[in-house]
Amino acid sequence: MAILVLAEHDNASLKLDTAKVVACGQAIGGDIDVLVVGQNCGAVASEAQKLSGVRNVLVADSASYANHLAENVSDLMLAIAADYEHVLAAASSFGKDVLPRVAALLDVSQLSEVIEVVSSDTFVRPVYAGNALATVQSLDDKKVMTVRSSAFDAVAFDGSAELVTLSQDIAPQVEFVTQSLTESERPELGSASVVVSGGRALGNSENFAILEQLADKLGGALGASRAAVDAGFVPNDLQVGQTGKIVAPDLYIAVGISGAIQHLAGMKDSKVIVAINKDPEAPIFQVADYGLEADLFDAVPQLLEQL
Amino acid sequence: MKILVPIKRVVDHNVKVRIKSDGSGVDFNNVKMSINPFDEIAIEEAVRLKEAGIATEVIAVSCGAKVCQETLRTALAVGADRAIQVDTDAELEPLAVAKTLKEIVKREAPQLVICGKQAIDDDCNQTGQMLSALLGWSQGTFASELKVDGNELAVTREIDGGLETIALGLPAVVSCDLRLNQPRYASLPNIMKAKRKPLEVIEISELNVNITPRIKAIKYTLPASRSAGVMVDDVAELLSKLREEARVL
């Protein structure tokens, strides 16, 4: 019984998500191989070799994989899937794009956003925006699943896996045009230990600057509610919630966010939640460990001063 | 160009779901049902492509029991030309839906399928990708912008670090993110007109797809509820609690 983990990377460095998916693999039990697909991704492969408890790191290095397009990556995974009982990837935009294709090509169902391993065929996953947890058993001979990385602790980087080079090359089906990534000096939203999030009450994008200062002072990442994103205050990749990113930091500070079901779905597993809102009836106070009923334009500058 | 839009009837997004006392599932009694919000965006996008003269016909399709017809009427009222209900009482997994849709695609021969990126009930985010794989078509998932130029699609996708644009050849499957558009409301005259638009019912058995469940739901539970927190009076108290009690600063 072996487990294949699809690595998440940008051709230059391995994302920490991969180490968390490997932890899920360890909870299932069995030999774990990590697949690195990309172009000029040698550095990523050597980083992956250090992942604790990994048997082999399989590398497919080719121009066809430069931009990690789902069509090309899933064809490659199909070609090597025969040797594995479990196929895992992080429930990131990349994993969600690729894995359902792999599952369909293998004619098996896929499990999304697994948060707990009960046994090698039984898993727990949230449904209805995290308002219910479903324990499900996969009846397929292969279990293809995406893993919610915030639910697992990353494994250590103390291993020394074998490097195996794959020679399969697939003719590209899709053309890649451009990519525009949001530039940020801050830690990545999905893996930050502190997240400061703002909502509609910020009023405009200039006012988000005070939250940026707060995030920087705490060494945290900046997040936002859908209302703030839709109003154009911040780019959409900062959105926390059912349709945005799922985060579980040590400290989540919700500023001017009412706390709709869809937003709570993305942050209610945070260790400590702080809410700052001037509406005492806001639903966010029902999940907050510490609530402060105050105008954010008074409270946030005071926080900055006293920190 | 013909566009096929798969839509799903789900528990309304404002409803806080309840779990049956025996844990066997979610309680649907007297719960408001609506069209899945992401599918609303898909239908809006297809109708906009028709209004722009790019699409010639928009077909809405839903797989499920007869009540799905209400959801299909909603799609017709927004501007779909006709609808297909694949009739089944079985609960379908994304793979079964994708296989069913593949058969509908074979019958209708659309050049483009536009679907929602995920249903807000099962939160799977799989069907579009699976359909695209089964058809051997290209996919443009999590689209926030869609441009059609002749036989080519430019899809701007929402990815973890920002946005990326890919070019796809038709035929293709596109799945919508929330920011693709702002769906319109159906006007009363259009709701009346929608009642006269064609709605075809196909028995799922006619399509010869294997819909045997591959996943067995063992139980549903409520997530651990958070214990009630405390309200603090001012910023100084908040900071001292975070430092001394929660020890996160």
Q: Does B231 sit within 8 Å of A291, measured CB to CB?
A: yes
Mean pLDDT of B129-139: 96
Q: What is the pLDDT of residue A185?
A: 78
**Residue A194 C-alpha from the chain's centroid:** 15
Quickly count: other Cβ atoms within 10 Å of residue A304's Cβ.
14
Residue A72, both tokens: 């090309």
Q: Check CB contact under 8 Å for A272 and B217.
A: no
**Predicted confidence band at B118 (pLDDT cuts at 50, 70, 90)?**
very high
Q: Answer yes or no: is pLDDT of A176 > 90.
A: no
Within 13 A of A6's CA, how many CA atoms are on the CB side? 31
- Mean pLDDT is lowest, of B91-95, B105-109, B220-224, for B220-224
**pLDDT tens digits, residue range A100-138?**
999 999 999 999 999 999 999 999 999 998 889 999 999
Q: Higher-confidence residue: A109 or B163? A: A109
Q: Are A215 and A234 in contact (CB under 8 A)?
A: no
Q: Say how far apart CA B169 and CA B153 lie, in whole Å.
A: 6
* CA-angle at A93, arms to A87 and B159, nearest 5°: 155
When pLDDT is averaged across residues B70-76 and rounded to a whole number, the result is: 97
Match 């929330």 to its residue by tokens.
Answer: B178
Q: Where are the alpha helices (DSSP H) in chain B?
A: 37-51, 68-78, 94-108, 127-135, 188-194, 235-240
Q: Which residue of A has its CA nearest to B23?
A: A134
Percent of chain A with pLDDT over 70: 98
Q: How confident is the model at residue B120 (pLDDT cuts 50, 70, 90)?
A: very high
Residues 6+ apart with CB under 8 A from B28: B11
- Name which of A68, A177, A194 to mutate to probe chain B: the one with the most chain B Cβ atoms within 10 A of its Cβ: A177
Q: What is the pLDDT of residues A35-87, one digit of tens each?
A: 999 999 999 999 999 999 999 999 999 988 988 999 999 999 999 999 999 99
What residues contact residue A99 under an 8 Å CB cut-off, 6+ apart? Answer: A6, A74, A87, A89, A110, A144, A145, A146, B129
Q: What is the mean pLDDT of chain A?
A: 93
Q: What is the pLDDT of residue A5?
A: 98
**A23 near A152, Cβ under 8 Å?**
yes
Burial of A80 (0-12, 13-18, 19+ CB in 10 A): middle
ipTM value of the model? 0.93
Which residue in this structure is represented by tokens 């059912």? A242
- Buried (b) or exposed (e) across A254-276, using 16+ Cβ within 10 A? bbbbbbbbbbbbbbbbbebbbbb
| pLDDT at residue B5 in the model | 98
pLDDT confidence of residue A92? 94
Instruction: State yes or no: pLDDT of A182 exceeds 90.
Output: no
- Within 10 A of A95 (CB to CB), how many other CB atoms are there? 24
**For the residues A231-237, what does the mean pLDDT come to?**
91
For residue A75, which phi and psi values (nearest 5 degrees)?
-60, -40
Query: What value does the mean pLDDT take over residues A273-277?
Result: 97
pLDDT at A169: 65
B235-238 LR contacts (CB < 8 Å, sep 24+): B235/A292, B235/A294, B235/A299, B235/A302, B235/A303, B235/A306, B236/A306, B238/A274, B238/A290, B238/A292, B238/A303
At A40, the amino acid letter reads N
**CB-CB neighbors (< 8 A) of A236 in chain B:** 144, 158, 179
Q: Which residues in chain B have their CB less than 8 angstroms from residue A175's CB?
A: 166-168
Record: contact A237-B13, CB cut-off 8 A: no
- Put simply, the answer to whether A290 touches B122 (Cβ < 8 Å) is no
Place of tokens 């999905």: A190
**Each residue's pLDDT tens digit, B11-37:** 998 888 999 999 999 999 899 999 999
Any idea which residue has 């996953």 for tokens?
A125
Average pLDDT in the B6-12 region? 96
pLDDT-based confidence at residue A173 (cuts at 50, 70, 90) = low
Output Rg (C-alpha) for chain B, integer angstroms: 21
Cβ(B86)–Cβ(B62) under 8 Å?
yes
Confidence check: pLDDT of A171 > 70: no
Sequence spans of domains, chain B: 2-245
Q: What is residue B26's predicted lDDT score, i.e. its pLDDT?
A: 92
CA-based nearest distance B14→chain A, Å: 8
Q: Beta A290-293 vs B230-232: how paired, if at all?
A: parallel
The answer to whether the CB of B125 falls within 8 A of the CB of A100 is yes
Report the residue of A108, A127, A285 to disrupt the B interface, i.e. the one with the largest count of B CBs within 10 Å. Answer: A127
Q: Do A242 and B120 touch (CB under 8 A)?
A: yes
Average pLDDT of chain B to the nearest whole number: 95
Q: What percent of chain B has pLDDT over 90?
A: 86
Per-residue model confidence (pLDDT) at position B163: 87
pLDDT at position A170 is 67
Instruction: Tell me the C-alpha distance between A168 and A175, whole Å.
Output: 19
CB atoms B229 and A291 under 8 Å: yes
User: A33: closest CA among A74, A87, A82?
Assistant: A87
d(CA B41, CA A205): 26
Task: Return the pLDDT at A116.
Answer: 97
CA distances from A122 to A252, B184, B213 (A): 31, 42, 15
Looking at CATH, the fold of the domain delimited by B2-245 is given as: Rossmann fold (3.40.50)
CA–CA separation, A81 vs B63, rounded Å?
A: 30
Which residues on A lie below 8 Å from B122 (Cβ)? 127
Q: Given this model, what pLDDT does residue B162 score?
A: 84
| pLDDT (tens digit per residue) in B147-156 | 999 889 999 9
Residue of B16, B99, B121, B125 to mutate when probing chain A, most A C-beta within 10 A: B125
Sign of the Cα pseudo-torsion (B26, B28, B32, B36, in order): positive
The confidence band for B137, taking pLDDT boundaries of 50, 70 and 90, is: very high
The confidence score (pLDDT) of residue A64 equals 86
**Nearest residue in chain B measured CA to CA from A292:** B232
* Whole-number Å distance between alpha carbons of A120 and A3: 11
Q: Over the stretch B181-229, which tens digit does the pLDDT of each residue have?
A: 999 999 999 999 999 999 999 999 999 999 999 999 999 999 988 877 9
What percent of chain B stands above pLDDT 70?
100
